[in-house]
Amino acid sequence: MIAMDTLGTFSLMVGLLTLTPGLDTALVLRTAALGRRRRAWGVVLGIQSGTLVWGVLTSLGITALLTASHLAYEILRWAGAAYLVWMGGRMLWSTWHRPADRPRTTGDAADPRPGPRPGADTDGPRIDDSLLGGWRQGTATNLLNPKMGAFYVAVLPQFIPADAPHVAAGVLLTGVHVVLAVIWACALIAVAHTLRDLLGRPAARRRLDRLTGTVIAAFGVRLAFAE
């Protein structure tokens, strides 16, 4: 259906895209580094769910309508920008308005590590450390990024042979992208886990949240004002 050299070229292209540091990398690293492995995997699955949706919609020709309609693209672009700025701003706000770190009580003695306890507050009143919560965040981040759709519209059709079933070939290529991204996410989560004790210190957590919040908010501002 798809020649091996075509599949290899596409794999190289999306592999390099996956390795390029960006919003997804920052979000996965930050979540995993704070010890929330379930939520981190939820974020990964959500991001890749969004990627799969973009691939299927592109194969069906639906995302071409998005790029052709200036109004639809602008609505999605501003919605995505607002979501990213809100998410990044929320992280930054919490670092400046978080209550002072209290000494551990006797209930904390079972966990001698300096890292945050499960469900500990680092983003606000209560952290949803569930797989589903991470999936919702990852999916929203991906689907509200119109540039992801524009990338698939520009790239995916070029790798689908004219005589191949369009949807099946598109899903196959998107699956390659998803597999490579999940492999890279495994490496990111493993690295973040080794740094958990270091980043579990209150001062380090604040710096990490400020850095990640700034990166995410900057992506939102860039998305809002990009041509």
Query: Is residue 173 in some structural domain?
Result: yes
Query: What CA–CA distance (Å, rounded) separates 107 from 175?
Result: 46
- At 133-167, the pLDDT tens digits run 999 999 998 888 877 877 888 888 888 888 888 88
Query: Is residue 11 in some structural domain?
Result: no
| CA-closest candidate to residue 38, choices 138, 125, 178 | 138
Query: Is residue 74 in some structural domain?
Result: yes
pLDDT given at position 199: 66
- At 186-222, the pLDDT tens digits run 999 998 888 777 766 777 777 777 887 788 788 778 8
CB atoms within 10 A of CB 29: 22
More confident residue, 55 or 117: 55
Query: Is residue 213 in some structural domain?
Result: yes
Structure tokens at 61: 């020709």
Structure tokens at 140: 């929203």
Query: What CA–CA distance (Å, rounded) separates 80 from 156?
Result: 22
Query: Is residue 105 in some structural domain?
Result: no
Query: What CA–CA distance (Å, rounded) separates 150 from 166?
Result: 18
pLDDT given at position 128: 60
Q: Which domain holds residue 72?
A: 23-97+125-225
Amino acid letter for position 115: G
| CA-closest candidate to residue 174, choices 19, 48, 21 | 48
At residue 56, the 3 state secondary structure works out as helix
CB atoms within 10 A of CB 81: 22
In this prediction the pTM is 0.73
Query: Is residue 107 in some structural domain?
Result: no
If one counts the domains in the chain, the total is 1
pLDDT given at position 122: 41
Query: Is residue 8 in some structural domain?
Result: no
Amino acid letter for position 153: V
Query: Is residue 114 in some structural domain?
Result: no
